[in-house]
Amino acid sequence: MSNKPLKIGLVGAGHRGILYTRYAAKHSDKVKIWAIADPNDYRRNQVAKEFNIPSENVFSDADALAKSNVELDAVINGTMDQYHIQTTLPLLERGWDVLLEKPICTNEQDLNTLYEAANKNQCKVMVCHVLRYAPFYVAVKKLLLDGEIGDILTINTEENVSYHHIAVAFIRGRWRNKDICGSPILMAKCCHDLDLITWFMSGVAPSKVASFGSLMHFKPEKAPEGSGKRCLVDCKIERECPYSAYNNYIEKGLWGPYAWESVEHHGDALTEEIKIESLKQDNPYGRCVWHCDNNVVDHQTVIIEFENGVTATHTLTGATSKPSRTVHIIGTKGEIEGNMSDGTLVLRKPDLKIEYTEKIIDIDVKGDGHGGGDARLTDDFISVMSGEQPSISTTSLEDSLYGHMIGFEADRAMNESTIAKIPEFMKKRGNNE
Ligand SMILES: NC(=O)c1ccc[n+]([C@@H]2O[C@H](COP(=O)([O-])OP(=O)(O)OC[C@H]3O[C@@H](n4cnc5c(N)ncnc54)[C@H](O)[C@@H]3O)[C@@H](O)[C@H]2O)c1
């Protein structure tokens, strides 16, 4: 282990990349933010300025960075889903370890290609499965490892995406259309949940997957009477609509980094007037949710069978009033049930006198993004890159394969009305802890 600070590069100066970079930069004794690559001039220059990056270490894309003479210890890749492979392969070829945003990629072939490139170049690819670090899910994993509920029989999880969140990300926003972003909503939103399920299964391979879902609500034929094409232009029900762009992004101030992306170049000079005008003009976030070019489903259920017979389900529902993630794991000796947004877990066991006992475990979920997962993941990345012992949450490429395979196969199963089988060679590649 060297005492010199790690030299870290950032590829993709977007919302996620900057967030991890800021967390990493807090460890100024251990880390130096040493290079930036992004085709967006405004973002690239902002990052170079914020982290004092030498001008010779500033690049317009991942390829140029990989071909340069810059020396790095690792790279944070925060590009969008459809660019993960093309931006990561050159970094691996250069011999750099990578912290890669999820989903790893958008299809099985690319997963294979990346796996082989990482092995060939003997590089680590750590995947940003931030929920593995959230204290809520760490507590669940510890209860399982301690044998509190015996052998798992079933796992049921839910992700309830709130009405304003589904609108900003999956109807108006960048994950709305799988032909553009490459990811269906299951991979973009729930690859975390599918990853958690496989993490709870501690290396048992999934074998079969089925799935059902559709886009039921956010399409033109469901538009309510009086709605228009843009909230602030031709909508008669804007003042009573929960999806009103004005209400969500101006009055409630939600989702600023997405909603104001098209006007972010105004920097400190960005005013409310400019924002409102953009919603009236060409800002995609000013569109009516029933008149967008979205094609991802708004609800989907996935059913999984594992090699040892355990079954699991995950249900994604968009447009809920309250955002939440729930988990219910039933084992031979007890069960664990919880709701991440409430920060409560219940450990329930049969009892000879009363029917069952319940131990309530309260978890502080007030922390930063993803129940405190974002900051902890960055800390772990720095530890792993410094040669320290990985934590129980560390997600290598091998650890992430099963969850991603379930996601890819679930969409195939849903689209083809079939039951999909996980390919044998992929089962062998996964990490059998
Ligand atoms: N871990 C999580 O929970 C979580 C949450 C939200 C989003 N994400 C994922 O994070 C990723 C980034 O999302 P975002 O909202 O920050 O995206 P973003 O669009 O804000 O940022 C991506 C940046 O990559 C840059 N870029 C594009 N091509 C490039 C290239 N060839 N070389 C270098 N830079 C390039 C773009 O100019 C942009 O600035 C996505 O894959 C997304 O799905 C993960």
Regarding the beta carbon of 191 and ligand 1, being less than 6 Å apart is answered no
**Probe residue for ligand 1, chosen from 38, 67, 76, 137 as the CB with the greatest number of ligand atoms within 8 Å:** 38
pLDDT in tens, 165-210: 999 999 999 999 999 999 999 999 999 999 999 999 999 999 999 9
Regarding the beta carbon of 65 and ligand 1, being less than 6 Å apart is answered no
Q: List the residue whose alpha carbon is closest to atom 31 of ligand 1.
A: 61
Q: Is the pLDDT of residue 272 over 80?
A: yes
Regarding the beta carbon of 429 and ligand 1, being less than 6 Å apart is answered no
Token pair for residue 280?
A: 């009236």
**Probe residue for ligand 1, chosen from 11, 16, 175 as the CB with the greatest number of ligand atoms within 8 Å:** 16
* Mean pLDDT for all residues in the chain: 95
Token pair for residue 294?
A: 């979205």
Local confidence band at 368 (pLDDT 50, 70, 90 cut-offs): low
Interacting residues of 243 by C-beta distance below 8 A, sequence separation 6+: 163, 164, 167, 231, 288, 289
Which secondary-structure segment (H or E) carries 32? strand 31-37
Closest ligand 1 atom to 183 CA: 43
Interacting residues of 181 by C-beta distance below 8 A, sequence separation 6+: 80, 81, 82, 174, 175, 188
Structural domains for the chain: 6-127 (3.40.50.720), 131-218+294-429 (3.30.360.10), 220-286 (no CATH)
Distance, in Å, from the CA atom of 27 to the CA atom of 423, rounded to the nearest integer, reads: 42
Closest C-alpha to 405, from 195, 196, 199, 212: 195
**Probe residue for ligand 1, chosen from 10, 15, 46, 79 as the CB with the greatest number of ligand atoms within 8 Å:** 79
pTM for the model: 0.95
